[in-house]
Amino acid sequence: MSIAQAAPGITIASGTIGIYTSYTVSFQTTPVQIVNGSCTTPDVSIPLGNFLTSTFTGTGSTSSAASFTINVNNCPVGMNSVKYRIDPTTTVVNSAQSVVALDSTSTATGVGVQLLNSAGSAAFPLSSTQTLSSYSSSTGGSYTIALKARYYQTASSVTPGPANTSMTVTMTYQ
């Protein structure tokens, strides 16, 4: 395939005329196959449950955790890695504990939502890229990311009402 071509030219220097001929420059590439390089990730709704305000006994106290999974479906073969990150759409109230504020549809006060690892033993790092370690480049397929979430007391008192928030999962393929 010809990508560039030089045209003939004439120069005049010190009364001498120079004529240049045309040159074609060719580049060869190896065959490239373009494939759909992404997995599908359906929305996830996580009911955290209903709790009495007396469940919360002081700043840092928590409700019981709800388990959930993020499905990563139909990943193609041949990618080097699949990575993901979870970003809150509301303010981070306590970054060390991965606690985010409730959204504007909420009337409850004094609590936020905490994201935890699958065992519920540690805060899941928000806005931090993680590798989907179970992804297989040779087989592709569908995978899950197991996590937990719970309410976390953020103020000295808690008032009842709906307590909602949302987060965005961003997938990166290499």
Rounded Cα distance, 88 and 95, in Å: 11
- List the pLDDT tens digit at each of the 174 positions of the chain: 445 555 555 666 666 666 665 556 566 666 665 656 789 999 999 999 999 999 999 999 999 999 999 999 999 999 999 999 999 999 999 999 999 999 999 999 999 999 999 999 999 999 999 999 999 999 999 999 999 999 999 999 999 999 999 999 999 998
Q: Could you give the 3-state DSSP secondary structure of residue 84?
A: strand
Which candidate, 50, 150, 151, 165, places its Cα nearest to that of 104?
165
